[in-house]
Amino acid sequence: MNYHLPALYILFSLFVLGCGDEKTDSLPQDDLCSEPEIGCFDSTWSAESSSYRLQLLSASPLLPERGSNEWLVELTSKTNESLDSCEVNATPYMPEHGHGAPAQPQVMKTPQSDYLIQEILFTMPGLWELTFDIQCGETSSELVIYSFWLEA
């Protein structure tokens, strides 16, 4: 597994998106989301449970697409302490359709204690809900949820 791939993808994506685009310093996310009231994808999203916070560090592709997506997330306590010996599971779900993804994403802890989530399979446009099940040490697990609208 190559932990440096997401960064390369992002650099490449920035280069491609930057060409011929007036807004070279920011991604035209609003233009790409037809349902801002539901929630456009935020490339700097963070989400919390009562004890934990997840922060997206990078995504490949940079904006989610149908097919396989890869996200790198940082797990900390809500007081911003780094955490060790935690297990993270991610489950995609479409609440409006009542179905999930055809396979469970693979989660790999990186040497930096971030979590690389691979094979997040978005099969169709619409509202997607990512539920992250976080278990640290002997404490009971908590759920962190992030939802966004996936464009066609």
The residue ranges that bind Cu ion (CB under 5 A) are 94, 97, 124
Q: How far is the C-alpha of 67 from the C-alpha of 59, rounded, in Å?
A: 13
Strands (DSSP E) found in 7-125 = 46-48, 52-60, 67-77, 86-94, 99-100, 106-109, 114-122
Pick 11 or 124: Cβ nearer Cu ion:
124
Identify the burial level of 67 via C-beta atoms within 10 angstroms of its C-beta, where 0-12 means exposed, 13-18 middle and 19 or more buried: exposed
Distance (Å, rounded) from C-alpha 130 to C-alpha 149? 11
The residue (of 19 and 152) whose beta carbon lies closer to Cu ion is: 152
Taking the complex as a whole, the smallest distance from the CB of residue 152 to Cu ion amounts, in Å, to 12
**In this complex, which beta carbon is closest to Cu ion, that of residue 58 or of residue 68?**
68
**Position of minimal CB gap to Cu ion:** 97
Signed CA dihedral, 122, 123, 124, 130: sign only: negative
Smallest gap from Cβ 47 to Cu ion, in A, equals 21
**Nearest distance from C-beta of residue 124 to Cu ion, angstroms:** 5
Pick between residue 32 and residue 124 the one whose CB is nearest to Cu ion. Answer: 124
- Sign of torsion over alpha carbons 117, 60, 49, 113: positive
Question: What is the nearest approach in angstroms of Cu ion to the Cβ of residue 58?
Answer: 26
